[in-house]
Amino acid sequence: EEENEAEEEEEEREAKEATHKAGRKAPKLPQLDMSERQALAEGPRMDFAASSRDAVEIRGLAPGSAEVALIATFPPAQGAEGISWSLDGRWLGILGLRGVQVFDASDGEYSTLC
């Protein structure tokens, strides 16, 4: 019986240690598609959001360029105050009068979180 308790304690300790080590792993980074690789090869671009009654537009300005490029257009968010991209660039979160809206950058579909 004491042997079983000792084995169980050892297994529990090993499980905790494995969980602790797993928490220290570096996050897996998303793979870049060819268009992203091309954009990186061309150099950094400053992206920003422009919000109006008609739409929320993501625009970009490349170094040395005088022209601002339109990157993406999303439906309007009433009273948009804060705009933030997810780390992988898939989701755009907008804080507005109706709460937080999250847009899928691939198709423009959105949902209101709160």
Q: How confident is the model at residue 18 (pLDDT cuts 50, 70, 90)?
A: low
Residues constituting the chain = 114
Gap between the Cα atoms of 63 and 41, Å rounded: 13
Total domains in the chain come to 1
53 assigned to some structural domain: yes
Rounded to two decimals, what is the model's pTM? 0.48
Gap between the Cα atoms of 86 and 102, Å rounded: 10
Whether the per-residue pLDDT at 15 is higher than 50: the answer is: yes
Instruction: State mean pLDDT over 99-113.
Output: 76
13 assigned to some structural domain: no
77 assigned to some structural domain: yes
For residue 92, the one-letter residue type is L
28 assigned to some structural domain: no
pLDDT one-digit tens code per residue, 53-71: 888 888 888 888 888 888 8
64 assigned to some structural domain: yes
108 assigned to some structural domain: yes
Gap between the Cα atoms of 92 and 99, Å rounded: 14
**Residues of the domain holding 50:** 35-112
DSSP state of 5: H
Q: How confident is the model at residue 28 (pLDDT cuts 50, 70, 90)?
A: very low
Structure tokens, 105:
């950058």
Whether the per-residue pLDDT at 111 is higher than 50: the answer is: yes
CB 97 within 8 A of CB 82: no
Structure tokens, 9:
């304690």
